[in-house]
Structure 1
């Protein structure tokens, strides 16, 4: 008779002799390999059949990004949004001075090109470095953040 402490770890009928025969293991799908306890009991024919087939190829898509890379890219996305906002604020302060040197239409075109430059840089780096290493993507995003600093906003200060 089992001890009362072991009752919770057993089911009624565990000692049934008909349950002792292990069912035949289903063959593994192509490209899978059995590991762990009991993996040696798989039939040799199943393992040789898998070896005779064409070898597996690496996935064609890029590897998924890790947590640190996703956080880094999210931080850069926020920085680029702030850069665009800085260009809007800085260009608004220069509008009166710029009208002395530029046609108003030319000023509007250049202002909106400056405002759209950070999101365009981010999107370009994101699309062109899909298959590249994560560090290259982060370096290019950092370089763009330095190159696209809104100097009119930086030099005029934060006063409105």
Structure 2
């Protein structure tokens, strides 16, 4: 009745899948096609191997080093932009959330201030400036993100931090959601 394996209770259906094999055990000999596959691993096009041992992994259609760089019209090679690390992506997400909260703060504060500011400007002018103020954080984030694509990460975060300081929703800060 038993299959002869000591750890049947600790296995799942599909554990014998060769793609889940993490290495040869001491008593087993890998199959010939598995050994051939391990000797020359290839990645699909568009993927880049990173980490320990990544230099031995080749792409399926590996371009030579000269074609990886973009060429400018003057014939000079320009390095391709590096991808962002995990910390930078998390920081961009947090800053994007701050800018989204700023847009919401401008909406709430601007609508609360509308009754008090009618004697200063016409209603049409106030509505236009209100919606420009609401869009300002979103436009700042998108513009900074697009214009600093080929810059260093600290330049991008410096401009985003400057926007956090400059675009603070003062009507929401001074009046708040409930008012004073």
1:56 to 2:56 alignment: no
Structure 1 segments unaligned to the other structure (5+ residues): 1-5, 12-24, 27-35, 40-53
- For 2:26 and 2:86, the matched residues in 1 are separated by 44
Structure number with larger C-alpha Rg: 1
- For 2:126 and 2:29, the matched residues in 1 are separated by 81
Give the aligned partner of residue 66 of structure 1: 85
1:112-160: per-residue Cα shift (whole Å, max 9, x none)?
A: 0000000000011001000000111011101101100000100113426
- For 1:74 and 1:87, the matched residues in 2 are separated by 20
Q: Which has the higher strand share?
A: 2
- Closer, same or farther in 2 for the Cα pair 1:55/1:73, shift >3 Å? closer
Give the aligned partner of residue 29 of structure 1: none
1:100 to 2:100 alignment: no
Q: How does 1:58-137 map to 2 (within 5 A)?
A: 59-60=69-70, 61-137=80-156
Residue of structure 2 aligned with 1:146, choices 165, 170, 176? 165
Number of residue pairs matched?
A: 117
1:4-55: per-residue Cα shift (whole Å, max 9, x none)?
A: xx983348xxxxxxxxxxxxx99xxxxxxxxx9xx9xxxxxxxxxxxxxx96
- For 1:156 and 1:96, the matched residues in 2 are separated by 12
TM-superposed CA distance for 1:72, in Å, is 0.4
- For 1:114 and 1:127, the matched residues in 2 are separated by 20
- For 1:88 and 1:155, the matched residues in 2 are separated by 14
Q: TM-score, normalised by structure 2?
A: 0.58
TM-superposed CA distance for 1:97, in Å, is 1.2
- Closer, same or farther in 2 for the Cα pair 1:9/1:133, shift >3 Å? same
Q: Which has the higher helix share?
A: 1
Structure with higher RCO (Cα < 8 A, 6+ apart): 1
